[in-house]
Amino acid sequence: MKKKSHYQAEIAGTGIYLPEKILTNADLEKTLDTSDEWIRTRTGIQERRIAQKDESSSTLGAHAAKNTLNAAGMTPDELDMIIVCTSTPDVLYPSTACFVQKNLGASKAAAYDISAVCSGFVFGLSIAEQYIKSGRYENVMVIGAEVNSRIMDWTDRKTCILFGDGAGAVIVKRVEKEEPIGILSSHIYSDGNHSDMLIVPGGIGREPVNREAVDNKMYCLKMAGQSTFKMAVKRMTEVSRECLEFNGLSTEDVDVVIPHQANRRIIETVSEKLNMSIDKFFINIHKYGNTSAASIPIALHEARESGRLESGALSLLTVLGAGITWGAAAIRW
């Protein structure tokens, strides 16, 4: 048997699922003091997907998971672990991952949620990487699934124009190869000193659910936009450089950057800071808005389907989310 150091964490399959309902900027013009031009020029967003009443993070996640299994040619009983990255869980408990597990019939898998908001998928990928490279598990499903529309204040044009619903997933598979392939490394960080920058202040731990909190929309997203913008550019740039340097790589080695799709201007500024052509950045924010933890896996799948992630290609993932949390990962395809 080869040494565990020869275990690589390869991406065996990707998949997505998006609600059918589309909410355009023109639709938002009817209820908000905003315009299509205002939204597009400041964010790059043209439309976003909105979950139906019978849809939730678990149903979106399960659909994405099934599509991923089909792409990988695998069955649910081959999964050792299911990690659902979400900040909009179906219920307080049990975990959304358990609902996904039931839907898939993946009875042999451990299933649990993690919450790192927009950074969730990269955090989940990092967890999967460790389990795979240690030799403990063979197949780990990582899902990013969100129904952000459920926590929006639809009268607040600063936030509700930005977010959408959707799910994306990957299967991280153990392979035994000498050459580096799959997830080369992942780098994740948090700084709770900035926890109020992006927050849904209502909860049950500090204060029970009450009518006043609901009426005051404390269960809706609150965001300090300018501070978040500056922090995203700073941290995404720093962690991208760290990830590349860790692997002895440069920006010239990167074929495709898969950034968190929060704001096109953030992506463009990160591109400038890294001195990389914007053409290397895969951008789909115009179609979906910010889908939080689902953002990167959706973009990853679409980049792969478009032919930009062929065998041997190097992709760089980079993200910042509430917490604040941030991270990056390098993947060799």
User: Cβ-count burial of 252 within 10 angstroms (0-12 exposed, 13-18 middle, 19+ buried)?
Assistant: exposed
Q: Which of 67, 139, 148, 290 is catalytic?
A: 290
DSSP conformation letters of 206-237: SS---HHHHHTTTTS-EE-HHHHHHHHHHHHH
Give me 125's structure tokens: 């990928």
Nearest to 90, CA basis, from 116, 61, 64, 118: 61
Q: Which of 260, 263, 284, 301 is catalytic?
A: 260
DSSP conformation letters of 174-213: EEE-SS--EEEEEEEEE-GGGTTSEE----SSSS---HHH
Rounded CA-CA distance 139/116 in Å is 22
118 catalytic, yes or no? yes
The values of phi and psi at residue 284, to 5°, are -135, 20
Give me 314's structure tokens: 């190097």
Rounded CA-CA distance 321/120 in Å is 8
Rounded CA-CA distance 149/160 in Å is 8
Nearest to 187, CA basis, from 317, 324, 20: 317
Q: Which of 63, 67, 85, 118 is catalytic?
A: 118
260 catalytic, yes or no? yes
Rounded CA-CA distance 46/290 in Å is 11
Quick one: how far is CA 105 from the chain centroid?
A: 24
Upstream peptide bond of 151 is cis (omega within 30 degrees of 0) = no
Note whether 125 and 182 are within 8 A (CB): no
Active site residues: 118, 260, 290
